[in-house]
Amino acid sequence: MVRILIIYHSQTGNTKAMADAVALGAEDIDGVEAVVRRAFEATLEDLLGCRGVVIGSPEYFGYMAGAVKDFFDRTYSDARGRREVFRKPYAVFVSAGNDGSGALNAIERICLGYQFKKILEPVVAKGEIDSEIISECRKLGKTIAAGCEAGIY
């Protein structure tokens, strides 16, 4: 079974709705399990045990949620240099009141440090989470899952 880890933080429910859509898309692919974890609950073992990772955050004050940063802080030292992490495919989604670029840039910069491999363009929701954003998130989940299941990434 191919496992896709979806790590997110949500206070208002917007980013959770996006995470749920990513998970539905991932599970559209046979042989794929989506593991959805709130950022404070996600562990190094979750990260090491997945084939691909999707990171979701609201944008707060032009930055990622503190909970997402906390996940990175808790796992980086033990993940650094491990073969289970090197070139692990990843994607990002952001729920933003502004343009989302601050949160996105911060997440992508940290993912470079982990030596993850960016495989998809991010989904950035500016404002309300509508059916178009949900569809984009579902497509993101399905794409990363299909690529990981097929061994492309």
pLDDT of 115-151, one tens digit each?
Answer: 999 999 999 999 899 999 999 999 999 999 999 999 9
Domain spanning 2-150 has what CATH number?
3.40.50.360
Mean pLDDT confidence for 2-14: 97
Q: What pLDDT, on a 0 to 100 scale, did the predictor assign at position 137?
A: 98
Domain ranges of the chain: 2-150
Strands 63-64 and 52-60, bridge-based pairing: antiparallel
**3-state SS class at 50:** coil
pLDDT beyond 90 at 26: yes
d(CA 32, CA 35): 10
Place of tokens 């991932």: 26
Strands (E), the chain: 2-8, 32-38, 52-60, 63-64, 89-96, 117-118, 123-126
pLDDT beyond 90 at 93: yes
Dihedral sign, Cα of residue 137, residue 138, residue 139, residue 140 = positive
pLDDT digits (tens, 9 = 90+) for 55-75: 999 999 999 999 999 999 999
pLDDT beyond 90 at 98: no
Percentage of residues in the chain having pLDDT higher than 70: 100
How does residue 97 score in pLDDT terms, banded at 50, 70 and 90? Answer: confident
